[in-house]
Amino acid sequence: MIKSGKFAWTWTIREEDLEEYVRMHLAPWPEIMEEHSKAGIRDYSIFQNGAQFFYCFQCDDLEAAFAYLAESEACNRWNAITSKMVVGSFDFREAVPIQPMPEVFYLK
């Protein structure tokens, strides 16, 4: 696995949870933002296409960042809510379904 660079992944959100999922991400908890920064995640964006969401971020050590987030009390509270909205589920301690896609092209 590539450890540093720009990464992305996608998830599908349950139709019945779309409005709440978007609302939560339009006003994220301050501690969630702080924890992602402490984990080394930066330039994080989320894009929506219907029920599909595309997440893109930069990170210098992906494994360390995910390990940090997995132990974060604030992130675990947030994930307890949002994981129920995702088709499937997610856990930062598991490789699947969070499968970061490495960047293969970038135009400056």
Identify the CATH number of the domain in which residue 9 sits: 3.30.70.1090
pLDDT greater than 70 at residue 81: yes
- Any idea what DSSP says for residue 16? G
**Residue 19 lies inside a defined structural domain of this protein:** yes
Give all strands (DSSP E) within 1-108, no chain letters. 5-12, 41-49, 52-59, 101-102
Instruction: Report if residue 77 sits inside a domain.
Output: yes
- Tell me if the pTM is above 0.85: no
Residue 9 has pLDDT above 70, yes or no: yes
For residue 64, give its domain range.
5-102
Q: Find where tokens 């540093």 sit.
A: 4
d(CA 106, CA 31): 31
pLDDT at 59 over 80: yes
Number of compact structural domains in the chain: 1
Percent of the chain with pLDDT over 70: 89
Residue 107 lies in a domain: no
In a domain, 69, yes or no: yes
Q: What percent of the chain has pLDDT over 90?
A: 60
Residue 95 has pLDDT above 70, yes or no: no
The pLDDT of 86-103, averaged and rounded, is 67
Q: Is residue 64 part of a domain?
A: yes
